[in-house]
Homo-oligomer: A and B are copies of this chain.
């Protein structure tokens, strides 16, 4: 039951299909796509035994998917076992592509990912967007988009959808940026500004980063906590292979978990929130540095040089993070905690005190903490892959669009 939680579209194609024969067919097409995608390469017979249908049924499903350009026949597998070798199937590398876009505080990026998960085209543009009005920024993004789509088309791909990662809070309609403090945008409807050639989804960059970790990361099962720090400190809770968004979409506000109940006042109204100890501003102040451009790089650089004040500041931030995460881990019992976004770059100096605190406060074996190897690329990749997942989740929907 349950609708895929990564679907930001409230009524997107991922909703539960009616239990009629047509719906069954659509779901079975999806199951074939997922099976082939998971293994990279699979024969019809292998798909059949994996999803519990007969070879005959899978044959017709595969035929339909090949005709739609979603699956490709790679030819006979090299025989290793007894019996006739199967014919290898693979997800198509020339069909639909997911277009991901990222609006960062000081860059814009777009990429195209094919159904196999390969990045096939990309374009980046550096330059501070802080405080610029949405229109010119979106115009530049549209230009990058045009380039990437053109390049993808040159490779035989066609865009199945666009997903945009933004550093801010997005409304439930998955189109409107409610507020993005670091851009100084408020109630901006990106759907009205972006070209409407294909389905659009807008979501928070931390959410897309977590989804990227779920789909592309190593070792993470379906249950983990993805912590990142771009605008404040956010934790995305991934449960049962989907994002936990909360009733109002506000879930994951790790930054305002109380760390010291009588600590310094916070803008949220509370006292001693995590952000007062591990937030960017707090860490810079503790390190004795001025806020400026590329603050994370500055911190990492000074820490690498051995700057004692910076190292102490990061150690203290790690400790505060460990305290807040202890609460989260006790509440959710995740398989692991993953540090992503800006935190990934600072991990060498945050991790020791963070893990020490988590260990100390946990009765049994502590929850393992790892660092995302996706780093700053997470949100962009997650966005593009979210489109790819939507195709895999309902191949019939895109097949009839082309």
Which A residues are closer than 8 A to B by beta carbons? 1-5, 16, 18-21, 24, 27-28, 31, 52-53, 221, 223, 235, 237, 239-240, 244-254, 256-261, 267-271, 273, 323-324, 326-328, 330-335, 360-364
Contact of A252 among B31, B261, B331, B361 (CB under 8 A): B331
What copy number does this chain have within its complex? 2
Closest 4 pairs (CB-CB, A-B): A246-B333, A2-B2, A1-B1, A270-B361
A332 touches B237 (CB 8 A): yes
Minimum Cβ distance to chain B for residue A327 (Å): 4
CA distance A244 to B269 in the complex (A): 29
> In the docked arrangement, what's the CA distance between A74 and B257, Å?
54
Chain A contact residues: helix, strand, loop or mixed: loop
A222: shortest Cβ distance to chain B, in Å?
Answer: 9
Closest residue on chain B to residue A262 by CB atoms: B260
Q: Are B261 and A259 in contact (CB under 8 A)?
A: yes
B1 in contact with A257 (CB, 8 Å): no
State whether A324 touches B327 (Cβ < 8 A): yes
Shortest C-beta distance, A255 to chain B (Å), equals 8
Contacts of A269 in B (CB 8 A): 360-363
Q: Are B223 and A332 in contact (CB under 8 A)?
A: no
A260 with B257: CB separation less than 8 A: no
Task: Report 10 cross-chain contacts, Cβ distance below 8 Å, ordered by A residue.
Answer: A2-B2, A19-B27, A21-B24, A223-B246, A239-B239, A250-B333, A257-B326, A269-B360, A327-B327, A328-B331
